[in-house]
A and B are shown apart, each in its own frame.
Chain A
Amino acid sequence: MTFQHDIVVVGAGLAGLRAAVECAEAADIAVVSKVLPTRSHSGAAQGGITAALGNEEEDRWEWHFFDTVKGGDYLGDQEAIEIMVKDAPRAIYELEHMGVPFSRTPEGRIAQRNFGGHTREYGKKPVKRACHAADHTGRVVLDTLYDQCLRRSVKFYPEHYVLSLVFEEGRCTGVVTYDLATGELSFLRARAVLLATGGCGKVYRTTSNGFATTGEIFNLAYQSGIPLEDMEFVQFHPTGLYPLGILISEAARGEGAILRNGAGERFMERYAPTIKDLAARDVVSRAILTEVREGRGIGGKDYVDLDLSPLGEEKIREKLWEVASFARIYLGVDPVRQPVPVAPTCHYVMGGIPTDGDGRVLADEVGTVVDGLFAAGECACVSVHGANRLGCNSLLDLLVFGRRSGKAMKEALARADGEVHGTDPVREVEEGLAALSRRQGEERLGTLRREMQTLMMDHGSVFRTEEGLNKAIGAILVLKERLGRAPVRSTGRTFNYELMEALELRHQLDLCEVILTSAYHRRESRGAHFREDFPERDDRSYLKHTLVFCGKSGPEVRYKAVSVTRFQPEARVY
């Protein structure tokens, strides 16, 4: 079947829904998601959204600007960052007007709290910048935006999995979807397509990301000739609930919780003397794993403690209800009285599909625009987060660039005709699907997936070396080859998740290759990318974005310049 819309948005998290709200009155818009509404992983965001409102203490967008540049270890594009931080207060008030139940100050204003890397006067001391709704900020914003979409009668295609991006004479003209409930394939034809599918954390074994966060859209873009930018920069959040990796929000430390090692020492004082536990995430994650490596984990094991007792019972109940419930449910730990065991967990990918400040996808290092195709949110790379994202800047990114993409798509509609003359895009993917069940062999998808996730943890996570990366790239190629011997055994058309997971794994393996290759070629350490064999930042050679293209014989690495407008790179000390 073919369905025609003006705009198709892929992904129903905050970026996708914010874009949908923007366009709903002006265009026929449809939102495609592989999960049901409100199940998208934006809902798992806990801590908040940053904006220099100054509700609690003096704050300025210039300080937010500097913090974001420094947090990203000077790799973020400053032009884009300026757009984001200046637009932040408006984005917050807009949400408030839609009904988001932000926590409040005693005077009734939106409450703000400390968050890692957010400071006053260019790094002097922490500043309260994160607007929040207790510790379920993402969920209530997701609910509110979904409610706004209902109000505007936005069309949803729930539980539809995207199999391909369709291009016609260089222009994106839609997507082919697989309806999980029925197995039916459809061509959703559109005059503008927005990719807003979130991250790809599930390539790692320990991650805060949900099961759906497999990142196929990155690879669909990559296989269509679009490069992937800065994929070596993968954020490990310092405080994943050990050993599950479930996120324990930085809000805990923002409200006063402290990290302690096996000796009970507040070790962050040694790594970040000024802002201590509130340093940027890459810094804290490396500090934790350094403590562990040097034998100062709890009981010599591979985790440290997060001590929430300074907050007191009342504050934990009021501000960190969800976080406390995770510790109780999964570990039987009551954070009011007992420390919570934590270790770094894969959380966010700074890299993605390159875009300009209006969500237009860029095809190369000189900024050639791909007609009809837009990207926003975690799957996009604007790049505002550079080499490491600061906490609470991601929801801001989703809202600001989701809206801007929506505006840009409305403008693009006036110019696009959406005529398709080519071959049937559904038939092409149909053949690919049929091939999956014809595979012969004894390999199992679950085994291959686990091996991939272990490889990425061992060689592609917080600490990296040339030798390890090289070895992992080789091993991924072997896994790809073994995947060809892993048949899909379920033949049904109704909710055949095995088929979906087989497709996901293929995409994930390609993505691993891109991540590892990007990391292999960056012979320096910057933000979340730490090379033990090149432990220093090297601005002379590497103050540039990585672009990986899908070449005939594997990934091809090129680079593009960073936009530096106001803040020249300097040493990054917290």
Chain B
Amino acid sequence: MLLKVFRYDPEKDEKPYYRTYEVEAWPSDRLLDCLNRIRWEQDPTLSFRMSCGHGVCGSDGMRINGICGLPCQKLVSAFEGEVLIEPLPVFRVKKDLIVDLDPFFEKYRSLAPYLITRSDAPERERFQLPEGQRVFEDAIRCILCACCTASCPVNQAKETEAYVGPAALVRAFRYLFDSRDEGFPERLALLDRKEGAQGCRTLWKCTEVCPKQIPVTKEIGQIKRRIYEAKKPGNEPGMGK
């Protein structure tokens, strides 16, 4: 199998270049196995992140033949000819396939990703019906791999790069629609901005690439509808849900 890999080492390269590697591969191998084979058998200087190896930790987001995804989830059998491997767009490249995710986590943090409650906690659990749970059962599959945010044309455009991006909004959705959450007024203020949910232009790229098949665009749409309803005359924010 041939892999054409984006290379850049800030210590010695003035600009990035591509290098093609030929590795032995079985159809059932993961693309991640092939990348490791390059590292372990041919070129130990190649750098990329990985951890769990089966699509749970979110470490190895990269661009594969132009589409953001996880090489630990892609089998060799799905590819023909040379495969192009590049770092995630949107983020600054630190080395080879490793990008700077600090801004990603900063944006994630900016939307208060935690349960906000005002009432005292009961001695046992807060009640939540299975229907209430089902609302966000897709959203809690998010592994923060950043593939959605990297694929979003709004995040990609320089003039709108302040947009928090789909991943942060999926987590915001998860708390906004959690029947136990009592932080609606704060969340409304954070989300009802062009850098927040209003920045989404419904372009579906996030949904197309999500390795966990989360209906990202739809969830952002639900946030926007929730904001719209809350702002209709007579619906005072802060009145719960």
How long is the Cα–Cα vector from A133 to B142 in the complex, in angstroms? Answer: 13
Q: What 0/1 pattern do residues 93 to 132 of A give for CB contact below 8 A with B?
A: 1001111011111111110000000000000000000000
Chain A residue at minimal CB-CB distance from B142 = A143
Which of A109, A150, A449, A488 contacts B113, CB < 8 Å?
A150
Cross-interface CB contact of A37 among B105, B127, B133, cutoff 8 Å: B105
Q: Taking the complex as formed, is B50 at the interface, i.e. its CB lies under 8 A from any CB of chain A?
A: yes
Q: Is B121 an interface residue (CB 8 A)?
A: yes
Which of B28, B45, B132, B136 interacts with A490 by CB under 8 Å?
B45
CB-CB under 8 A from B49, the residues of chain A are: 35-36, 39
A410 on the B face (CB < 8 A): no
The answer to whether B133 touches A103 (Cβ under 8 A) is yes
Q: In the bound complex, do residue A99 and residue B114 qualify as a contact, i.e. CB atoms below 8 Å apart?
A: yes
Contact residues of A between 410 and 450, Cβ < 8 Å to B: 444-446, 449
The verdict on A497 contacting B47 (CB below 8 Å), with A39-B57, A97-B121, A99-B175 known, is yes
A211: chain B residues at CB < 8 Å are: 50-53
| Complex CA–CA separation, A339 to B141 (angstroms) | 25
A104 to B126, CA, bound (A): 11
Given A99-B114, A104-B128, A148-B114: A39 and B59 interface contact (C-beta under 8 Å) = yes
| B130 engages A106 (CB within 8 Å) | yes
Pick from A93, A325, A489: contact of B125, CB under 8 Å = A93
Contacting B143 at CB < 8 Å: which of A139, A318, A496? A139
Taking a contact as CB atoms under 8 Å apart, the answer to whether A38 and B57 are in contact is yes
Given contacts A96-B125, A494-B10, A41 and B51 within 8 Å (CB-CB):
yes
Q: Which of A43, A97, A107, A322 contacts B57 (CB 8 A)?
A: A43
CB atoms of B130 and A494 under 8 A apart? no
CA distance A210 to B141 in the complex (A): 19
A144, B136: Cα distance in complex, Å: 14
B58–A39 CB distance below 8 A: yes
Q: Does A493 interact with chain B (Cβ within 8 Å)?
A: yes
Alpha-carbon distance between A326 and B121 when the two chains are bound, in angstroms? 37
> Which residues of A are found within 8 Å of B9, using beta-carbon distances?
492, 494
Which residues of chain A come closer than 8 Å to B113, judged between CB atoms?
Answer: 147, 150
Does A466 count as interface, using CB distance less than 8 angstroms? no
- Chain A CB within 8 A of B140 CB: yes
Known contacts A102-B125, A104-B133; A321 and B39 CB within 8 A of each other: no
Q: Is the CB–CB distance between A43 and B56 below 8 Å?
A: yes
Distance, CA A493 to CA B141, complexed state (A): 35
B125 touching A110, Cβ below 8 Å? yes
B200 on the interface (CB 8 Å rule)? no
Given contacts A134-B137, A211-B53, contact A498 B59 (CB under 8 A): no
- Knowing A41-B52, A109-B127, say if A101 contacts B133 (CB, 8 Å): yes
CB of A44 within 8 A of CB of B127, answer no
| Apart from A44-B54, A104-B133, 12 more pairs, CB < 8 Å | A35-B59, A36-B49, A38-B57, A93-B123, A97-B121, A133-B140, A139-B56, A147-B114, A329-B55, A489-B44, A490-B44, A490-B45
Give residues in B with beta carbon < 8 Å to A: 9-12, 28, 30, 39-41, 44-45, 47, 49-59, 73, 75, 94-96, 98, 101, 105, 109, 113-115, 117, 121, 123-130, 132-133, 136-137, 140-141, 143-144, 174-175, 178, 180-181
Residues of A that sit less than 8 Å from B by CB? 35-41, 43-44, 92-93, 96-99, 101-110, 133-134, 136, 139-140, 143-144, 147-148, 150-151, 181, 210-212, 244, 246, 318, 321-322, 325-326, 329-331, 444-446, 449, 488-490, 492-498
User: What are 17 A-B pairs at a CB distance below 8 A?
Assistant: A41-B57, A99-B175, A99-B180, A101-B137, A103-B130, A103-B133, A104-B133, A110-B125, A143-B144, A211-B51, A329-B73, A330-B30, A446-B41, A493-B11, A494-B10, A494-B11, A495-B98
